[in-house]
Structure 1
Amino acid sequence: MVRFDDVSMRYGRGPEVLSDLNFGLAPGSFHFVTGPSGAGKSSLLKLVYLAAKPSKGLIHLFGQDVSRSTAESRPHLRRRIGVVFQELLLLDHLSTFDNAAIPLRISGRRPAEYRNDVAELLSWVGLGQRMHAMPATLAGGEKQRLAIARAVVARPEILLADEPTGNVDHEMALRIYRLFVELNRLGTTVLIATHDQDMVARSGRPVLHLEGGRLTARPPQGPAPQGPAAP
């Protein structure tokens, strides 16, 4: 699903923030990316999402070499990827419901076809009573949960999440993790960048660890926690 071959990245003429990365993500796999602040976790996700280009090396996505992808081809590839950004990037003029439904609208589905699905997902992430609220009236944790709902609503082939549980309490973090697990069970390849070492340790999932812009793989830490399935 994803393969990096000797990939490096820098911003402008600055030093490399990622150096000689080599790894692959099999279809349907679930990995965490860990490392200290500034290690390059967000930059790695940007490369996968085609929001940045490598300064060296080859990136294969969905079996295609995308290192030199054109502006015309990138939107089609991005529609197959769900992303939870740290910046959230909610649209202030749209309601909670309409923000969550954006990927479905882009794909051409009509509101009558997805209304129940979006409402059920928003209820799952604790926003069932806030579907008609505008983003400016939401608390920080509510905005985070809305961004997650938007990223997963279309069941993407790849899900990338940058600190998705950073602004929620432990109970909601566990519900969100279980939602990601259910998506993974249905076939989505999941890659989560996080500082939450407790979640990583209890998950039983393999870890890609960044230190100084270089990547080392870590084996699973133990059995994954069990819990009720997401909708």
Structure 2
Amino acid sequence: MRYGRGPEVLSDVSLSLPRGSFHFITGPSGAGKSSLLKLIYLAARPSSGSIRLFGEDVGAAPASILPRMRRRIGVVFQDLLLLDHLSAFDNTALPLRIAGHKPSEYRGDVAELLAWVGLKSRMHALPPTLAGGEKQRLAIARAVVGRPEILLADEPTGNVDHEMALRIYRLFVELNRLGTTVIIATHDQDLVARSARPVLHLDKGRLRPLPPQGPVE
């Protein structure tokens, strides 16, 4: 993968992640972690090679089905992309509204999820009034509320304390136990070491698998 005519940011990357797996992606800044997530989320296309997602060759798939495929993926972006004019509750519920669910169907689930990430008392607040860590937790709640088939998270614990980082990780683990494939790009080596999950290590745009580390959570 390259941006425009620039150098390749990812080179000779080949991987196959089974349905229901849980992987970390690590590597220094600029190694290509965010670019790899963009390819998986279909926000960018590879300069060469191919991507198969949900059993389909993305390169050969018509553009009309890509939005439907993206709705099967939950994403926690590094820049969060919250909607400032919507409350925390409505930001979280947005994927369910887009999918056609009625408020009566999801009101309780959204409130429970916001309580789980520590935002019970802030569910009616607008994003500009939230602290950095609160915004991070809100973005995570929005990404997981629809129980996506794939969850991609780019530095999801970057703005929270250690206790909340573990709580967020346990939420991802529970989602994974329900069948979601989880891929987390992170610099949090303590979290990686605690998890005993497979690690995909990027170095200068190339992928090097590492064995699981540390005790099981």
- TM-score relative to the length of structure 1: 0.93
| Counterparts in 2 of 1:68 and 1:52: CA distance versus 1, 3 Å | farther
2:42–2:70: 8 Å Cα contact kept in structure 1?
yes
* Counterpart Cα distance in 1 of 2:215 and 2:79: 32
Query: What's 2:166 paired with?
Result: 174
Gaps of 5+ in 2: none
Structure with the largest fraction of strand: 1
Q: Supply the distance in 2 between the matched residues of 1:47 and 1:57 (Cα, whole angstroms).
A: 11
Matched, 1:28 2:34: no
Where do 4+ consecutive residues of structure 1 move more than 4 Å? none
* Structure 1: gaps (5+ residues): 1-8, 226-231
| Alignment check: 8 A CA contact 2:88 2:125 kept | yes
What does residue range 40-51 of structure 1 map to in structure 2 within 5 Å?
40-51=32-43
- Shift of the alpha carbon at 1:71? 3.0
* Corresponding residue for residue 38 of structure 1: 30
Paired position in structure 2 for 1:67: 59
| Inter-partner Cα distance in structure 2 for 1:143 and 1:70 | 35
Report the alpha carbon displacement of residue 87 of structure 1 after superposing the two structures with TM.
0.7
Other structure's SS at 1:58 match: coil
Task: Give the counterpart of 1:151 among 122, 143, 147.
Answer: 143
Please give the alpha-carbon distance, in whole angstroms, between the structure 2 residues aligned to 1:218 and 1:152: 27
Return the offset for 1:219.
1.1
Who is 2:76 aligned against?
84
| Secondary structure of residue in 2 paired with 1:24 | coil
Partner amino acid, structure 2, of 1:92 = D
**What is the 5 A alignment of 1:113-128?**
113-128=105-120
Check conservation: 2:73, 2:152, Cα contact below 8 A: yes
Q: 2:122 aligns with which of 123, 127, 130?
A: 130
1:52 aligns with 2:19: no
Letter in 2 for 1:95: S
Whose relative contact order is higher, 1 or 2, with alpha carbons under 8 Å and at least 6 apart? 2
Q: CA deviation at 1:74?
A: 1.0
Higher helix content, 1 or 2 = 2
What RMSD, in angstroms, separates the aligned Cα atoms of the two structures?
0.7
Report the Cα offset of residue 73 of structure 1.
Answer: 1.5
Match of 1:208 among 189, 200, 203: 200
Q: In the TM superposition, what are the counterparts of 1:190-205 in structure 2 within 5 Å?
A: 190-205=182-197
Q: Is the 8 A contact 2:193 2:215 kept in 1?
A: no
TM superposition shift of 1:72: 1.5
Q: What percentage of aligned pairs have identical amino acids?
A: 78
| 3-state SS, counterpart of residue 31 of structure 1 | strand
Letter in structure 2 aligned against 1:41: K
Which residue type is aligned with residue 57 of structure 2? D
Distance in structure 2 (CA, Å) of the matches to 1:166 and 1:117:
26
- Work out the number of aligned pairs and report it: 217
Q: What's the TM-score once normalised by structure 2's chain length?
A: 0.99
For 1:121, the aligned partner's letter is L
